[in-house]
Chain A
Amino acid sequence: MKHTIRQVFRSGKFLLGFIIFLALLLITIFYPLIIKDAPLAIIGRGTFFPPGIYVNVYDSIGSPQYTLMLDDAAANRIASKLSNDDRLAMRDWLVADGIPENQIDINNTKALLDQWENNYDPKKQVEGMTLAKQRYYLRLNTSLQGLLSTEGAIIAANNPQSGALEESDSVAQTDYVNIKEVPNVRVLPLGTDNFGRDVLTELVSALATSLKIGFVAGTVATLIGLVLGLLAGYVGGLMDDIIMFFTNLFTVIPGFVLLILISFSIGQEHRGAFTIAVVIGFTSWVWTTRAVRAQVISLRNRDHVNLSKLSGHSVVHIIVADILPYIASYVVMAFILQISFGILAEAGLSILGLGPKTTEVPTLGLMMKWAMIYQAQILGKWWAYLPVVVTIALITFSMNLMNTGLDQVFNPELRD
């Protein structure tokens, strides 16, 4: 036993898979201890905030301000409002308006802006311009107001007595704040999702739930598969026929179809994470049963088993003492695969809308589903779905690596 374990851990593939899996598991355990926010708390008003560092603007006005004189500050400011495409678009408009092309220099910002201000009129109808383009120019025009000014901004507050706005502070274009001195800064490494929830916190919590579901589903499936396989393989005869009959039945009706039907029948109220896990387990034991049965059949005529039979040991004792240890390796591998399958099945169900309840716990499948409903992949909000896909892939990848590693240990011919 000890020797086997040592061999297992020496296998490169198993080790890699195990490390990845352990890392994921540790993250789910330690992250909630450090960051104590509720995973389903809505913190954003608005959808899909991009990943980054969010600094409270109100507090940064009140924080100590430092003056930095940087050469490229003005250019950066202009470039963020006026991209090269915008300049070309402005030129196109001016040309369509009748200004000769050689008089327009798109690289001379001041001249271009002057020409624009003098000539742009939203009411002018340009030939063949779509509504979308007209609105684009309107937006551009608004954003260009005061682009070249060097004045700062004025902060005004309401005077409680007179009700008028009075200047309380001013911000120059060269004022900077140190993030560390701003009291309210929030790092959102993966932004927010469509509900305004912190994706990273939600992801870790979803990972924990999905792992639990996978674990429960895997246990249920493996237990059922093990028991049925042992009975079918060892006892044989009529028991074997009956069990194989049921196995065939379950093979023929696609497990996924059964899963959908049962999930739907249970209804949303009872569809907790645990219930879903059990249901998945109940519909995916087929493969394990067959594998176990095949192994047991080849084992049951071995010498040591016959010896036990002759010694008069009971059936249960023979199964537990003589057969079980020999198929332990298969059972462990099957268990790992069942966990992986359970996680995938839950994700698939959630995408179809038949997964666990939305509001209690997040799961990986649910996060994907909401991201797709709110069309994150079309809008380019990759942080809402890509981390989820990668996490699922990592889990299953690590489990299968472990499985392959184990396979190689138990079947030396497969070692490379």
Chain B
Amino acid sequence: MWARSRLTVCTLVAAVLVLGLTSGLVFGQVLERSETLYSNGQQWGPVVGWNPYSSSMNNAMAIAQQDNARVIMFETPYLYNMLDGEVYPLLADGPFTWDNARTYITFKLKAAAHWSDGTPLTAYDVAYTWDSNIKYSTNAGNNFKDYIGSIIPIDAQTVLVNAKLDANRKAINPLMVAAYLSGNYVIQKAWTQTLEARAGGDATKFLADTAEDVVYSGPYHKFFADDTKVVYVRDDNYWGQDASMWGKLPAPRYLAHTIFKDNAAGSVALAIGEVDVSQQFNSNIQVLWLNYGLPISTYLPGAPYGIGASLPTAYYNLKSPGLDQVAVRKAIAMAVDYPTIIANAMTNQSATFDQVPRSLMNPTPGEQALYDHDAVKDLQWAGNDIAGAKALLDAAGITDTDGDGWREYNGKKLSYVATAPNGWSDWQASIEVVAAAGKKIGIDITTNFPEWSVYQTVVTKSDAPLPAGYDILMMWSDGAGPTQPWGRIRHLLSSEFVGMANNWNGNWGQYSNPRVDELIQAIPSESDPATLKAAYTELVTIYLTDVPSFTLMYRPQSFHAVNESVWTGFPHQGDGTDPPVPPLNLTDGWSIAGLYNLTLVVP
């Protein structure tokens, strides 16, 4: 009886295994390790589709239209380089030019540029892409429709971009018009028309289409995608190997991204060499090369290991009782122990506020040069100033009147909830430190970590006061891009977002200051450096005096760690590349130049 049942069980197991293997299989080949570049930290969850018009394809490596656009499959006319602040032509031929009145931009397209189906890439494609963006209300369309009037093809190789003009016939925002050229893809007109025919003019269908047949111009396209990984393969007919662009093909034949469940799994893979380029927050990454001698490096050899570009910020809900008082806001911000946040939450992967005093600008030299440091020196607090914070509160008359250890304002005890989304470990750790600071100065701050899906729905609703439990909330701010620091300042402080039902832009604390709005309006059209510097300095002064929100740390644009067990030649500080290649995982903006510099460790 035993033998028989054991046999049946074995055959059952074998049958199940075989059946299991037959579902969802594709005939393919093994990826040669020396031909493949593995990444992690970009793709979480399986790829949904390949439609560049849609923002919900969850196809992180191929579709990301942002300031440093991801150009491995779809391409933009220009590439932004966050290290020197310049834009370099990709599909375009030469720099773009404004007319004298700054009302329109013209640029030419490279003659060599062509699509994956062989047809040439022309200005008609650029124009049709813009028209489709508007017609189907895509993200790209929504973001720029207030600034770009139209895009006209003058001839097959020349593009004219008309800015939207205000009543004085001046461009409303020339910065944003130029930003479109380095942040948004050019998509083939013919394929778009096929898609439109399929969707029958229905915008929802248009955006939901998974576009397996999409035509692209970039060097890589789909090779394989399932629940555990996505692989892109190089197109050996890629137009970019022409002498007018890169002159050769990118080094790796395959770009692969294994889909990990969480950060820890990805870090293990990086440590054992199954990942070459990591865009994850790998805490204490220096242990891997200091203690274990692994061939892992970051862009910088020591702290902060990466180039800080964005400013994760703690926003105050300005309608909470007591938080409408500048003294309270500034006192809490002064008392927070920032060195501990940077050392514990970010494990030193951020510059400290002693190295880069706080302002509205990120640590890159380009942005730091834009404001007058001496003028705001006294306002730039370094943190941990318990005595100063207490003095500030006492001077404002906010003291502990009933002896319970907590200060009161208008008779009510000062009690706040600091929130961050659950599961974002470095943010959670930072908010814990903020809460600890409150205790030291007599303000009761507790923490709460709602799920991201709940958090985002509450925080992005700016047409009503935020609900209880959201007094100090942590959110991001802009990183590096062609419109920065203006874009960041606008997203932090502009009152245009107050009252929006679906506010993904910023100013979630609903701050409003007319002088700030004035400056934000004026800057994009201003070109005199002295006036600009004065304007930025004034904005920094207002920000550090009013404290509607405060920066918690500096965060790199992308985390960038590499394992040199198979490939070498990754961008690093002092690598001699000119223009310098930014550490953006070799896929974003000018960082894609890095793919052409890679060599094998063992040729």
A130 sits at the interface (CB 8 A): yes
Knowing A46-B343, A195-B344, the reply to whether A132 touches B289 (Cβ < 8 A) is: yes
Chain B contacts of A357 at CB under 8 A? 447-449
Please determine whether B570 and A131 come into contact, CB atoms closer than 8 angstroms.
Answer: yes
Chain A contacts of B271 at CB under 8 A? 378
Of A44, A48, A130, chain B has the most CB atoms within 10 Å of the CB of: A130
Which residues of chain A from 337 to 383 have any CB-CB distance to chain B below 8 Å in the complex? Answer: 353, 357-359, 370, 372-375, 377-380
A128 → B minimal CB distance (Å): 7
A222 sits at the interface (CB 8 A): no
Residue-wise interface mask of A (251-294) relative to B, using a CB-CB cutoff of 8 A (1 in contact, 0 not) = 00000000000001001110000000000000000000000000
Chain A contacts of B454 at CB under 8 A? 267
Chain B contacts of A380 at CB under 8 A? 287, 291-292
Chain A: which residue is nearest B423 at the CB level?
Answer: A353
**Count of chain A residues near B, Cβ 8 A:** 36
Please determine whether A135 and B448 come into contact, CB atoms closer than 8 angstroms.
Answer: no
Knowing A42-B436, A128-B601, A131-B570, the reply to whether A372 touches B297 (Cβ < 8 A) is: no
Chain A contacts of B423 at CB under 8 A? 353
B202 sits at the interface (CB 8 A): no
**Count of chain B residues near A, Cβ 8 A:** 49
Among the listed A47, A48, A133, A264, which residue makes an inter-chain contact with B295, where contact means beta carbons less than 8 Å apart? A133
Knowing A133-B295, A373-B263, the reply to whether A45 touches B284 (Cβ < 8 A) is: no
Please determine whether B447 and A374 come into contact, CB atoms closer than 8 angstroms.
Answer: no
Please determine whether A135 and B340 come into contact, CB atoms closer than 8 angstroms.
Answer: no
Interface of B is mostly: mixed
Knowing A128-B601, A357-B448, A372-B264, the reply to whether A42 touches B433 (Cβ < 8 A) is: yes
Please determine whether A268 and B451 come into contact, CB atoms closer than 8 angstroms.
Answer: yes
Bound-complex Cα distance A330 to B485 (A): 70
B332 → A minimal CB distance (Å): 17
Chain A contacts of B446 at CB under 8 A? 359
Knowing A42-B433, A132-B296, A353-B422, the reply to whether A359 touches B447 (Cβ < 8 A) is: yes
A194 sits at the interface (CB 8 A): yes
Among the listed B283, B293, B296, B449, which residue makes an inter-chain contact with A375, where contact means beta carbons less than 8 Å apart? B283
Of the candidate stretches B42-50, B424-432, B552-560, the one touching chain A is B424-432
Please determine whether A379 and B601 come into contact, CB atoms closer than 8 angstroms.
Answer: no
B587 sits at the interface (CB 8 A): no
A138 sits at the interface (CB 8 A): yes
Bound-complex Cα distance A188 to B50 (A): 53
Chain A: which residue is nearest B340 at the CB level?
Answer: A45
Knowing A42-B433, A373-B425, the reply to whether A196 touches B268 (Cβ < 8 A) is: no
Chain B contacts of A42 at CB under 8 A? 340, 344, 432-433, 436
Chain A: which residue is nearest B419 at the CB level?
Answer: A268
Knowing A42-B344, A269-B469, the reply to whether A373 touches B264 (Cβ < 8 A) is: yes
Among the listed A132, A358, A372, A379, which residue makes an inter-chain contact with B447, where contact means beta carbons less than 8 Å apart? A358
Please determine whether B283 and A358 come into contact, CB atoms closer than 8 angstroms.
Answer: no
B572 sits at the interface (CB 8 A): yes
Please determine whether A195 and B267 come into contact, CB atoms closer than 8 angstroms.
Answer: no
Chain A contacts of B288 at CB under 8 A? 379
B339 sits at the interface (CB 8 A): yes
Among the listed A45, A139, A194, which residue makes an inter-chain contact with B339, where contact means beta carbons less than 8 Å apart? A45
Please determine whether A374 and B301 come into contact, CB atoms closer than 8 angstroms.
Answer: no
Chain B contacts of A377 at CB under 8 A? 264
Chain A contacts of B343 at CB under 8 A? 45-47, 196
Chain A contacts of B295 at CB under 8 A? 130, 132-133
A92 → B minimal CB distance (Å): 14
B450 sits at the interface (CB 8 A): yes
Residue-wise interface mask of B (290-322) relative to A, using a CB-CB cutoff of 8 A (1 in contact, 0 not) = 011111110001000000000000000000000
Bound-complex Cα distance A372 to B282 (A): 12
Chain A contacts of B259 at CB under 8 A? none
B132 sits at the interface (CB 8 A): no
Chain B: which residue is nearest A197 at the CB level?
Answer: B344
Among the listed A85, A130, A379, which residue makes an inter-chain contact with B284, where contact means beta carbons less than 8 Å apart? A379
B568 sits at the interface (CB 8 A): yes
Please determine whether B568 and A358 come into contact, CB atoms closer than 8 angstroms.
Answer: no
Chain A: which residue is nearest B290 at the CB level?
Answer: A139
Bound-complex Cα distance A268 to B448 (A): 7
Which residues of chain B from 226 to 245 have any CB-CB distance to chain A below 8 Å in the complex? Answer: none
Bound-complex Cα distance A44 to B291 (A): 21
Bound-complex Cα distance A375 to B262 (A): 11
B286 → A minimal CB distance (Å): 10
Chain B contacts of A139 at CB under 8 A? 301
A54 sits at the interface (CB 8 A): no
Which residues of chain B from 266 to 288 have any CB-CB distance to chain A below 8 Å in the complex? Answer: 267-268, 271, 282-284, 287-288
Chain A contacts of B138 at CB under 8 A? none
B564 sits at the interface (CB 8 A): yes
Of A135, A196, A374, A380, chain B has the most CB atoms within 10 Å of the CB of: A374
Which residues of chain A from 18 to 69 have any CB-CB distance to chain B below 8 Å in the complex? Answer: 42, 44-48
Chain B contacts of A372 at CB under 8 A? 264
Bound-complex Cα distance A359 to B446 (A): 8
Residue-wise interface mask of A (129-146) relative to B, using a CB-CB cutoff of 8 A (1 in contact, 0 not) = 011110110110000000
Chain B contacts of A44 at CB under 8 A? 344
B347 sits at the interface (CB 8 A): yes
B255 sits at the interface (CB 8 A): no
Chain A contacts of B449 at CB under 8 A? 268, 357-358
Please determine whether B340 and A196 come into contact, CB atoms closer than 8 angstroms.
Answer: yes
Chain B contacts of A138 at CB under 8 A? 301
Among the listed A85, A131, A194, A267, which residue makes an inter-chain contact with B450, where contact means beta carbons less than 8 Å apart? A267
Bound-complex Cα distance A370 to B271 (A): 20
Chain B contacts of A379 at CB under 8 A? 283-284, 287-288, 291
B435 sits at the interface (CB 8 A): yes
Knowing A46-B343, A47-B344, the reply to whether A130 touches B447 (Cβ < 8 A) is: no
Bound-complex Cα distance A404 to B267 (A): 41
Bound-complex Cα distance A348 to B347 (A): 27
Bound-complex Cα distance A367 to B236 (A): 50
Among the listed B263, B291, B301, B432, which residue makes an inter-chain contact with A358, where contact means beta carbons less than 8 Å apart? B432
Residue-wise interface mask of A (185-218) relative to B, using a CB-CB cutoff of 8 A (1 in contact, 0 not) = 0000000001110000000000000000000000
In the complex, 9 of the A-B residue pairs with CB atoms within 8 angstroms, ordered by the A residue number, are A42-B340, A130-B601, A132-B297, A196-B344, A268-B422, A268-B451, A378-B268, A378-B271, A380-B291
- In addition to A132-B564, A379-B291, 9 A-B residue pairs with Cβ atoms within 8 Å of each other are A42-B432, A42-B436, A45-B340, A132-B294, A132-B295, A194-B283, A267-B454, A375-B283, A377-B264
Q: Which 6 A-B pairs rank lowest in CB-CB distance, beginning with the nearest? A: A130-B564, A132-B295, A373-B425, A359-B447, A45-B343, A46-B343
